[in-house]
Amino acid sequence: MGMIVEAYKIEIKGLVQGVGFRPFIYKLAKRHSIRGNVENNNEGVLVQAEGNRNHLQQFIKAMKAEAPVASKIAAINIKVEPITGFENFSILPSHS
């Protein structure tokens, strides 16, 4: 029985910039075997995440449970996306 691999686009809105949120997401992704990337955007933080469905669900739970103290998540929007085939997880530079 193979693992079900899914791809999610996760938008995290709220006070999530300038509080160490991208490195936090990077560490979580590594811990949960998630591939993809994280970046800041106009709305907050955008995560492209691919991995085993169970790992993705644990990854999202951990985001809420372990968010940096200085951050405040207002909303997390999740959209299922086509699989891109990321090979690792990376932090993308901020757009300024």
42 contacts: CB under 8 Å, gap ≥ 6: none
Active-site residues, by number, are 22, 40
CA distance linking residue 52 with residue 33, whole number of Å: 8
The Cβ-side half-sphere exposure at 69, using a 13 Å CA radius, reads 0
Q: Which of 43, 36, 34 is nearest to 16 (CA)?
A: 43
What length does the chain have? Answer: 96
